[in-house]
Amino acid sequence: MNQKDKNSEKTAPSKSEESTIIPVEENKAVAGKKQQSANETNDSAQETDKQTDAKQNGMEKNNSHSELEKFFLDALQDIYYAEGKIEESLAKIKQKATSEELQEAIEDHELVTKKQILRLEKVFKLLGEEAKKKKCDAIDGILKEVDEMVKSTKDGSMTRDVAIIIGSQKVEHYEIATYGGLVQIAITLGHEKVADLLETTLDEEEETDYLLTEIAEEHVNFEAAEE
């Protein structure tokens, strides 16, 4: 054996040594995977924290009323009071109508008003608020004027029916304006279910207004003109 072979023999690794040697590239790959896994874990933890913060911020937002939300709630309490007063007025005024058609229309709207009151109570429940009434000077003034208009006309006359129709439409127009505004505010605030309920009431008020106009134009006004 020459000197070169001897040197090769000395420097060549044994089989056991070969099995324990890990290439540098493999070490780097393992380290890279570990780092990637650690980064993914950190990212996941950060995302969870963000979601938690978002939920907490959302809860805080829901628990605090903005100025518009306060105004919205105030207006709901206003119309809740108004509907109660309107129901009382309808119960009295239906007895004073002369034509059967007008009497029936008022009786029907009295029942509708009862449903509208229950609907408002559902609205308060959806908002997580207590159903409270706030005195409404506007509706008190309108209803007082309606009473005076009716008293100024002759009992049993068609002119009285004219007065009742005009007075009732003043009430309807107040309600239409109120519910129309409330629907839009509810949509703006993201209260979709509330908006749907209020829009149902708005549709009912518009139908009643149209019916009253129809009754007046078809015969009440003409018969009153002949008295």
10 lies in the same domain as 36 = yes
Q: Is residue 147 part of a domain?
A: yes
Residue found under tokens 């908002």: 127
Q: Is residue 61 part of a domain?
A: no
Length reported for the chain: 227
Contacts for 201 with CB less than 8 Å, ≥ 6 apart: 116, 119, 120, 175, 179
User: Lowest mean pLDDT: which of 46-55, 59-68, 110-119, 209-218?
Assistant: 46-55
Q: Is residue 135 part of a domain?
A: yes
Residues 6-36: b if buried by 16+ CB within 10 A, e if exposed: eeeeeeeeeeeeeeeeeeeeeeeeeeeeeee
Instruction: Count how many domains the chain has.
Output: 2
Tell me which of 15, 33, 56 is where a domain ends. Answer: 56
What does the pLDDT look like over 77-122, one tens digit per residue? 999 999 999 999 999 999 999 999 999 999 999 999 999 999 999 9
7 lies in the same domain as 85 = no
145 lies in the same domain as 174 = yes
For residue 97, the enclosing domain spans: 67-225
- Mean of the per-residue pLDDT values for the chain? 83
Higher pLDDT, 181 or 15: 181
Please answer whether residues 165 and 216 qualify as being in contact, where contact means their C-beta atoms are separated by less than 8 angstroms. yes
